[in-house]
Structure 1
Amino acid sequence: MARTLQYKFKGVLKQQPFSYDKYHDAFEAAAAAEGIDLTAFRKMEQQVAMTAKGKGALKDYRRNAFAALGFTEVVLLKDEAQS
């Protein structure tokens, strides 16, 4: 099933094709589209994952870190099949 990534970057709504073969998640794809290096983000994400007691902390970290970079409303949309 084809998917489309939709996100706002610094207030501008953008869309692009998304594939799990190419990207780990929607946030990674959005950062790649905007040319943002995620090396420091990934290191901190690993530390949060090792110390957090639940997945909620990791999701909150990811959402807050990307909001600081200028990303909001990062979602994957399912493309409807053409019949």
Structure 2
Amino acid sequence: MAFKITYTYKSQAKEIGYSNDKFRSIYDAIAAAEGLDLTAFHAMEAQLAQVCRRDKKSVKDYQENHFKELGFSAITIFRDEE
């Protein structure tokens, strides 16, 4: 089943298709759609995941805050009913 992601990037609303077999997360999908390099982000995310093995909320908070700093907001994923 296909998914769609809606998000706002630099005050412009956008919508893209999403598939779990193409991207690790919705953050990877929207970064790819905007042409952003996430190499440093993934390195920091991996380090944080190692330090906070039992605390997944810290990793999720890092992801959300990093993408807010990049200019993303209102990120939502939903099933495509078509």
TM-score by length of 1: 0.91
Write the letter of the residue equivalent to 2:41.
F
Q: For 1:1-83, what aligned pairs fall within 5 Å after superposition?
A: 1-52=1-52, 53-81=54-82
**CA–CA distance in 2 between the matches of 1:29 and 1:10?**
17
**CA–CA distance in 1 between the matches of 2:76 and 2:67?**
13
Write the letter of the residue equivalent to 1:11.
S
* Cα distance, 1:33 vs structure 2: 0.3
Write the letter of the residue equivalent to 2:55.
G
Secondary structure of 1:21's counterpart equals coil
TM-score by length of 2: 0.92
1:21-60: CA deviation from partner (whole Å, max 9, x where unpaired): 1111111000000000000000000111111240010000
Q: After superposing the two structures, state which structure 1 stretch, 21-30 or 72-81, moved more.
A: 72-81
Secondary structure of 1:80's counterpart equals coil
What residue ranges of structure 1 are gaps of 5+ in the alignment? none
Write the letter of the residue equivalent to 2:79.
K
* Cα distance, 1:63 vs structure 2: 0.3
Once superposed, which parts of structure 1, at least 4 consecutive aligned residues long, lie more than 2 Å away? none
**CA–CA distance in 1 between the matches of 2:66 and 2:2?**
27
Secondary structure of 2:17's counterpart equals strand
